[in-house]
């Protein structure tokens, strides 16, 4: 069995790529994609941890899987919401560039 640390490494790399994407992209669509990446990085981490948990048998502890299912559900809802917001944004401002969406700043 592959060591847990490799999974965690993969998860961390994916997460940081996602974080970089959120911070550096100007397009709202790309930011949403980066957020998805970060969520999935967390999913990998959780499932790997769950499958390595010690117990009476394999997959005896379902906590990680459960939370991953939740995250997938929330991510689906979030994408639906985010895309709707982006659509409205585009209709109003004819752009999805977040730098131009700055009505809430001081």
Partner 1 sequence: MEWAWLIPIFSFAAAPLIVLFGKYLPSKGAFLSILAIVAGFGGFWVVLISWMGADPSTSGCFTSENTHLLTCDYERSWFNAGRIGDVGSVTLNWGILIDPLTIAVLGLVTFVAMMVQIYSLAYMKGDPRFGWYFAIHSMFAAAMLTLVLADNFLLLYVAWELVGICSYLLIGFWHERAAAREAAKKAFIVTRIGDVGLLIGILLIYREVGTFSMLDAFEAVRTGAMSEGVTTAAAILLFLGAMGKSAQIPFHVWLPDAMEGPTPVSALIHAATMVIAGVFLVARTFPIFEAYDADPLLIVSIVGLVTALVAATIALVATDLKRILAYSTISHLGLMMLSLGAFGYTAAIFHMMAHGFSKALLFLGAGSVLHSTEFQETGEMGGLRKVMPITAIVFSIGALSLGGIPILAGFWSKDEILVAVSDNRNVTFIVLTLFTAMLSALYMARAMFLVFFGPLKSQNEHAHESPGAMVVPMILLGVLALGFGLISFNWPGSYGGIGTFVYFKHAHDFHFEIWLGAVSIVLAVGAFIAAYLIYVKRSVSLENTRSNFFGILKVIENKYYFDEVYQWTIDRVVLVFSRSIAFFDRAIVNDIIVNGPADVTRKLGIAIRVHVTGHVYTYTLAMAIGSIGMAIFVWLRVA
Residues of the shown chain interacting with partner 1 in the complex, contacts defined by CB under 8 A: 19, 22-24, 31, 98-99, 101-106
Nearer to partner 1 by Cβ, of 22 and 67: the residue is 22
> What is the smallest separation between the CB atom of 81 and partner 1, expressed in angstroms?
16
> What is the smallest separation between the CB atom of 67 and partner 1, expressed in angstroms?
18
Q: What angle do CA 63, 76, 17 make, to 5 degrees?
A: 80
Nearer to partner 1 by Cβ, of 22 and 47: the residue is 22
> What is the smallest separation between the CB atom of 58 and partner 1, expressed in angstroms?
28
Nearer to partner 1 by Cβ, of 22 and 79: the residue is 22
Task: Round to whole Å and give the CA distance between 32 and 10.
Answer: 20
CA dihedral sign, ordered 8, 11, 15, 21: positive
CA dihedral sign, ordered 17, 23, 25, 29: positive
DSSP H or E stretch at residue 56? none
């Amino acid at each position: 069995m592959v060591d847990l640390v490799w999974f965690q490494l993969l998860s961390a790399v994916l997460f940081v790529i996602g974080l970089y994407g959120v911070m550096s992209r100007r397009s709202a669509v790309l930011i949403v994609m980066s957020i998805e990446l970060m969520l999935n990085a967390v999913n990998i981490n959780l499932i790997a941890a769950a499958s390595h948990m010690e117990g009476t048998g394999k997959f005896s502890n379902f906590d990680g899987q459960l939370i991953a299912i939740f995250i997938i559900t929330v991510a689906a809802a979030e994408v639906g919401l985010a895309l709707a917001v982006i659509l409205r944004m585009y209709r109003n401002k004819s752009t999805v560039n977040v730098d131009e969406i700055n009505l809430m700043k001081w």
